[in-house]
Structure 1
C-alpha cells in the first residue's frame, strides 16, 4: 500500500481547521479536517465549469473572467483553453500557501498557467473583487467551497446569500454568467438565484474526465 505523506499545511483566514496538502504516490489531495476538498485525479467537473460558462456567453470578444478559488488549477487551465487568446482572466485565492503550492510541489499540475500573460493573480477575498467590479465581467466562476455554504470558512457564506448574489449580478455585464461548483444539489440556492433575476440551469457533471466518479452540480446563472 502506498503511504500518504503530509507535504504542507496552511491556515484559512477566518477558518478554524487547517488545510493539509497530502501526497500519495503521484496523487495529491487538499484536505480540510476529514473533508477532501480536491484531488488531482478528479478534475472533470472543475474543467467542465469553464467550458459550460464559455458556452453560456457565446463568442464574446475579449471576455473578462473572474475565477474564485485557484485550488489545483483545473478551472483556470480549462478557462485559458475555453475563453481564447484574447481573454483576461483574474483569479482570486484567499490562502497564500495555495499559490505557493502551485509554484512548488504542484507546479506540474498547473502547467505554467500562472505565468500566462492573460492571467492576473489576486491573493485575497473574491467577494471584495466582486463588490468592486460593477458591470466588469462576462463570467464569474466560483469554486471556493464544496457548495453554496462556507465549508472552508464562515465568511464565504456571504457569496451565496441574496445580497451576495445581487453583488455578483451587478459585477456581471448583461448576458454574463455566474457559475458555481458544488459537490451536490441545493434547491434553496437555486431559488435564491432565480429570485435575484438570473436565468438558471443546473448541470450534473461527473468528477472524472472519463465520465466516472461522483456527480457534482454546476449552476449556470445568466444575467439576461
Structure 2
C-alpha cells in the first residue's frame, strides 16, 4: 500500500482549523482535524449537484452561475460541461491555498476548469456575495464545508440559516435555482428552504456516481417568479 504524503497545509480564514492536502499515488485528499473533507476518487455527487442545477437553465442562453466552494474543481468542471458557451461562472472560495492547489497539484483532476474563459475566481466568502448582490444569478450552487452540518468553520453555518437562505433567495433572479450539497440528509433544512419561499426537491446522489459509495443529499430549490 502506498502511504499518504502530506503536500501542504493551510489555515482556514476566520477559524482555528487547518486544511491538509495529501497525495497517495494519483489519489488526492483534503482533510481537516483528521476528517476527510474530499477525495479525488469520490466526486460523483458534486458533479450531480452541477448537472441537476444546470439542467434547469437550458432555456437561458447566457446564464450567470455562482458556485460557493471550489473543492477539487469537479463541481466547476461539471457545470461548464452542461452550460452554454455564453454562460458565466463565478467561483467564490475563501481559502487562498485551495485556489492555489486547484491551479497546481489538483489542476488536472477535473481537466483544468479554472482555465476556461467562462470562469472567474473570487477569493471571498460566498456569504458576502449573497448579502450584497441582488437578483444577479440564474443559479447558485453551494458546496461549502460539509453542508448544513459543517466541519471546518463556524461562520459557514450562517449560509444554512433562515438569514442565509433569505440572502440566497434575494441574490437569485426570478425562477432562479439554489442547489445545495450535503454529506447527509437534514429534514429541518428542507423545511427551512420552504419557509424561505423556495419550492424544493430532494435528490440522493452517490459519492462515486455509478460506482456507488456514500449517499449524499442535494436540494434543488427554485425561487418563484
Give the conservation status (yes or no) of the 8 Å contact 2:64–2:136. Answer: yes
Cα deviation for residue 72 of structure 1 reads 0.3
Cα deviation for residue 172 of structure 1 reads 0.3
Give the conservation status (yes or no) of the 8 Å contact 2:61–2:84. Answer: no
Cα deviation for residue 210 of structure 1 reads 2.2
Give the conservation status (yes or no) of the 8 Å contact 1:177–1:221. Answer: yes
Distance in 2, Cα, partners of 1:46 & 1:81: 13
Q: Which residue of 1 aligns with 2:142?
A: 142
In the superposition, the TM-score normalised over structure 2's length comes to 0.97
Distance in 2, Cα, partners of 1:147 & 1:211: 22
Give the conservation status (yes or no) of the 8 Å contact 2:199–2:222. Answer: yes
Q: Which residue of 2 aligns with 1:71?
A: 71
Q: Which residue of 1 aligns with 2:173?
A: 173
Q: Which residue of 1 aligns with 2:87?
A: 87
Q: Which residue of 1 aligns with 2:18?
A: 18
Distance in 2, Cα, partners of 1:199 & 1:56: 13
SS at match of 1:107: coil
**Structure 1: which 5+ runs fail to align?**
none
SS at match of 1:111: coil
- Aligned runs of 1:1-224 on 2, under 5 Å? 1-224=1-224
Cα deviation for residue 150 of structure 1 reads 3.5
Question: Residues 12-66 of structure 1: CA distance to partner in whole angstroms, max 9, x if unpaired?
Answer: 0122221000111110000011211100011100000011001233421200000
Question: What is the number of residues matched between the two proteins?
Answer: 224
Give the conservation status (yes or no) of the 8 Å contact 1:56–1:222. Answer: no
SS at match of 2:122: strand
Give the conservation status (yes or no) of the 8 Å contact 1:140–1:172. Answer: yes
SS at match of 2:62: coil
SS at match of 1:213: coil
Distance in 1, Cα, partners of 2:139 & 2:211: 25
In the superposition, the TM-score normalised over structure 1's length comes to 0.97
**Structure 2: which 5+ runs fail to align?**
none
